[in-house]
Amino acid sequence: MADTRLIQGRYRLLDLIGRGGMGEVWRARDESLGRRVAVKCLKPIGTQHDQQISGVLRERFRREARVAAALQHRGVTVVHDFGEYEGVLYLVMELLEGRNLSQLLEDNKQHPLPVHDVVDIAEQVAWALAYTHEQGIVHRDLKPANIMRLADGTVKICDFGIARLGHDIGFTSRLTGTGIAMGTPHYMSPEQISGVNVDHRSDLYSLGCVLYEIATGVPPFDLDDAWAVLVGHRDTAPEPPRTHREELPEFFDRIVLDLLAKTPDERPADAKDLGRRLTDGRTGPAGVALLGRPAAVPAAAPPELRPPAEQPGQRAGRAPRLPSWTRGMTTGHKAGGTGTLTPAHGDPAAGLTGEWTSGGGLRAPAAPPARTERPTPPPEVLEVLDNRHNAGLSLGRLGRWEEAGEVHRSVAAEREHALGPDHPDTLASHYEVGFTLSRTGRPADALREFTKVTEGRTRTMGADHPETLAARQETAYVLGQLGRHFDAHQVYTAVLAARERTMGPDHVDTLRCRHNLAFNLSRLGRLEDSYRMARDVASARARVLGATHPDTLVTRYEVAYALGQLGRWTEALQTYREVAAARAQALGADHPDTLSARYEVGICLGRLGRSAEALELYRDLVDDRTRTGGPADAETLRARHGLGVNLGRLARWEEALAEARDVCAVRERVLGPDHPDTLVSRREVAVGLGWLGRWADALAVYREVARSRERVLGADHPDALASRNDEAQCLEQLGRGAEAAEIYRRVAALRRGRG
């Protein structure tokens, strides 16, 4: 590829980082977001493969890329985007600064790594695998070249799914005529060699091989002949690592030998168990004595965020307010090296996980410092702030918005003091503060932050700069959260005009803005306009991104919603079904987005009077939600609520009442007695009581719901007024018409007051 190649009009390839058997890795610039990224371009599919195999490979690539993109953990390389351009399949990933373990061994002249580094790497990889295995993802090709250590000590696993692209189609999965599964022989589990199904314990075996090599300098079966290596894995007990290197801790020696057990059942139960054993060994008296320093991880630190052990000479930073586990959570700074990488151990794919550099933030990458009269802060101060900013981004990726907000508020205050209020880095921190506030139910506070960012970026960058428009668009979003849909509409319309003028109508950011505008139109009651705009955006996204791209399917989901609001339930049902099927194929049957679309299919079936079909759908959905999220998960309870509603529609009121009571009890325990979902379930209890003729009991429940809604929402809120109407209808059933009439009058007066 020429170094001026612009992929999909967005990713400009700058220089080649590495080349291997599967393709090339380029340092690139994301022109849309202004950040540096790594772009992995897989080799074009050659003419030796027939069209059927080519199609399977492309589909497998898309499926595996979506799996990789869904992984959000500090120990896993972040995949930002993927696609196909001019016949080349590509992945867009974060740009990292570091060396893979194969390169570290090569740098060390194949001598083993320091003991404390080996244990630190083992612990970090164990917790990263614990996360990926919990997501149902098995790597299947874990090896030194697929594990990177960054400049700050963070360890990341690379290439989830990419090494398995050929597994389902045969041309890379087996040694010709032998039936033996292909892979990297030095790191293959016995079950991989035997060609049987593998699970997460196969990754544990491969990790054992990696740890053996970085601890001793040689793999467990260091033979020149590939077949002899495979036989060694299958039939030969490895020598204990301490026979090669006596200073290795005894606990580490035992762990590696357990990982290298021939049968999966003899290995650690899972990566969490492995991580705990490594942590206990490192922090115990023997581990502290051998490794020469105390434990760096507090006992309460959650496993998914355990930091690397502190490196000699590593600065703790000047952030006493931050939790200790945020230290080191950074992807480092951009490196200047551009050399082509040399594959290690003759592995043609080793260069594909080479020396990458960091790519900055997710949503608002920091721009170069603006000219200012303030004294330039020392580089080490800026570095600490950059690291803490990235720590906040990592917390956000994990959904830990409250903690992310705490980090970003601290960094924003210090950046403002050191750099000034209008410096791009300061504004980037305030942007992230606003983002966390909007995700934690504080839209009014978020609005103040985004307004401040918009004003600052307008002064320093201009009104039409992409980062200014991003802040304005988030302003519109939180206005919608506040119910100020007309104001949101005004902002969205202005941002859309600017995006179309500066980026073009089909730019991904322009389409995202049009999607948001369509959503907001439905909240304004402009259902026909919302439907038409959503339909047009879905068509444009299908053309630009592909029919099964997640963004395309999100907009088609909005099309279906608009159709339902318009009472066009048959069309809505068909659209939701198509979205559910496409998501199942692209994201997997158990992906939350797939399950959400299936839920909406059930809503449509119920609206069309097909409650028996809806009931069966919800039964299956409850099982799937329970398996993936647990019985108390909000979405599991939502599916159970739908099941109960359709039991009632089928006049199976005793069962409907029992289901409503169960769901209400769990929601009250998990969400609280006044949560809107809890109150919806409590109302459903009253509905069931009424249909069973137990009107006095129903009245008590309706009144309880009405009081709660008035206390939380106010007496004139539509939901509170609806609850008082429920109470009045119940009184009518009990023959208490005068009381019912009085409630109707009060409700009418409150509604006039709102108008």
Q: Are 430 and 449 a contacting pair, CB within 8 Å? A: yes
- Amino acid in the structure at residue 687: V
Return the structure tokens found at 158: 């690379």
CA 517 – CA 533 distance, rounded (Å): 8
CA 283 – CA 306 distance, rounded (Å): 13
What are the contacts of 64-68 at 24+ separation with CB within 8 A?
A: 64/160, 64/161, 64/162, 64/164, 64/165, 65/91, 65/161, 66/550, 66/586, 66/587, 67/137, 67/160, 67/161, 67/588, 68/160, 68/161, 68/162
Q: How far is CA 488 from each of CA 231, 448, 471, 521, rounded to the nearest angstrom? A: 66, 14, 13, 10
Q: Are 131 and 304 a contacting pair, CB within 8 Å? A: yes
Return the structure tokens found at 513: 């803005």
Calculate Rg over the CA atoms of the chain: 29
Q: Are 245 and 212 a contacting pair, CB within 8 Å? A: no
- Is 40 marked within a binding site? yes
Q: Coil, helix or strand for 512?
A: helix
How many alpha carbons lie under 13 Å from residue 425 in its C-beta half-sphere? 25
* Pairing mode of beta strands 11-20, 98-100: unpaired
Residue 16, phi then psi, degrees to nearest 5: -75, 130
Residue 416, phi then psi, degrees to nearest 5: -65, -40
Q: Are 740 and 726 a contacting pair, CB within 8 Å? A: no
CA 395 – CA 553 distance, rounded (Å): 27
Give the other-Cβ count within 10 Å of 85's Cβ: 17
Q: Which residues contact 15 (CB under 8 A, 6 or more apart)?
A: 3, 26, 27, 338
Q: Directed axis angle between helix 676-691 and helix 695-713, to 10°?
A: 160
Q: How far is CA 509 from each of CA 10, 367, 652, rounded to the nearest angstrom? A: 11, 19, 49
Assess whether 697 carries a catalytic annotation. Answer: no
CA 544 – CA 507 distance, rounded (Å): 8
Residue with tokens 């793999």: 219
CA 391 – CA 611 distance, rounded (Å): 48
Residue with tokens 């077949």: 227
* Pairing mode of beta strands 23-30, 11-20: antiparallel
Query: Residue 267 burial (CB < 10 Å; 0-12/13-18/19+)?
Result: buried
Q: Are 287 and 251 a contacting pair, CB within 8 Å? A: yes
The DSSP bridge partners found for residue 25 are 18, 40
Task: Identify the active-site residue in 81, 120, 141, 152.
Answer: 141
Closest CA to 393 of 133, 73, 29, 151: 73
Q: Are 549 and 512 a contacting pair, CB within 8 Å? A: no
Q: Directed axis angle between helix 508-523 and helix 485-503, to 10°?
A: 160
**CA triple 208-350-346, angle to 5 deg:** 90
Return the structure tokens found at 476: 């519109």
Query: Residue 204 burial (CB < 10 Å; 0-12/13-18/19+)?
Result: buried
- Active site amino acids: 141
Q: Which residues are annotated as a binding site for ATP?
A: 40
